Amino acid sequence: MHRTRTLIAASAIAALALTACSGGSDDEEGTSDAGGSGPGSASGGEDCTPGEGAADATLPANVETMFGTIDIAEPDDGELTVVALGWSDAEIALALGVTPVGVYDWQGFGEENHGVGPWAADLFCGEEPTVITNEGTALPYESIQALDPDLILNTRSGGDEQEFDRLNDIAPTVYAPEGTAAFGTRWDVQTQLVADALGLTEQGEELVADVQATIDDAAAANPQFEGSTAVSASKFGDQYGAYIAGDARWDIIEELGFTQNPPVLELPAQGFYVPLSTEQVTALDADVAILFPIGYTLEELQSDPALSALSVVQEDRAVFLADTDETAQAFSAASPLSIPIAIDGIVPQLAEIVAE
């Protein structure tokens, strides 16, 4: 179904301070082939069929979430209309062959990329979704309702119950499992949750297994990572933050064999990260550091006095990633389509730092 895209406002949540991405890459040469590699990918053109995976869906479905069991019925017309609001929900749906009619553009990839990473944009196969821009205001419920969805995905979000109640009045809405921190849905849990909601449970299992194999292969090829301490962190505003379990910017590093630097875990967490004052930045002095700027240029991050004083930086054991760097964008998206790109981008740099 062809729909005209519009720009409408989106929800404001404090955790957005750690998005680690200000928008899509301008380097077309570096991203033009990304959509044709990795699990679930496809290319545009005559052979590209939007939403072809939906034909394999088994509905009705029942999904357990933090707000109870959500029942998704089989649509009367047989075509499931999906609005993807959660961070990377749209990319997961696309990886499973389902084309959302509405996409919340968390990372500012823009209408030219249909609100998803450039590695996933071609999977719309010429369809034009409504792109909901991230402007820090309340969700445009009336606009979402106008899309007439059968299902709303919000599986990686702030977990606000009032928001859920309003969305669930429009259509069955799937949030993260019970006990999940705000924006703390693990990539594999999120992928399976979306797959279950779409009636594509088996396909979701296969997709998770494919991506996990990519991570496992990278870890097996670099046994020197095992036992080394690491941090994945950002500077934003006048403070810093270290990502922890529940955020792929740490989870993937851990799955490669690294161990979280102990001083980070000794400090109070806030959802998916540990906030650090300037005086606490020494917690980032691990064997390896991966550092992202948020609201700063890469040069400003590299010259930051507190970070520059760390041994891990002075001894060239830190990887600095610009917010426009495809590796940083792929880490932040943490979808089955972007994780292989993040792995390809970060592993060679880490291997140069950690010698066998």
Residues 48 and 197 in one domain: yes
Give the highest mean pLDDT range of 46-50, 244-248, 261-265: 261-265
Give the highest mean pLDDT range of 48-62, 123-137, 309-323: 309-323
Domain that holds residue 244: 213-353
Q: Are 330 and 338 in contact (CB under 8 A)?
A: yes
- Whether the per-residue pLDDT at 232 is higher than 70: the answer is yes
Q: Which residues touch 67 (CB under 8 Å, ≥6 apart)? A: 161, 164, 168, 175
- Whether the per-residue pLDDT at 11 is higher than 90: the answer is no
pLDDT value at position 272? 86
pLDDT value at position 35? 35
- Whether the per-residue pLDDT at 132 is higher than 90: the answer is yes
Nearest-angstrom CA–CA distance, 132 and 85: 8
**324 pLDDT band (50/70/90 cuts)?**
confident
Within-domain flag for 8? no
What's the whole-number mean pLDDT along residues 153-164?
A: 96
Tell me how many degrees the CA angle 182-187-193 measures, rounded to the nearest 5. 85
pLDDT value at position 56? 79
pLDDT value at position 303? 93
Residues 251 and 132 in one domain: no
Report residue 89 as tokens. Answer: 């929900």
Residues 140 and 219 in one domain: no
Residue 119: CATH number of its domain? 3.40.50.1980
- Total count of domains within the chain: 2
Residues 180 and 72 in one domain: yes
Within-domain flag for 147? yes
Residue whose C-alpha is closest to residue 151's, from 51, 81, 68: 81
Within-domain flag for 6? no
What are the pLDDT digits (tens) for 166-209? 999 999 999 999 999 899 899 999 999 999 999 999 999 999 99
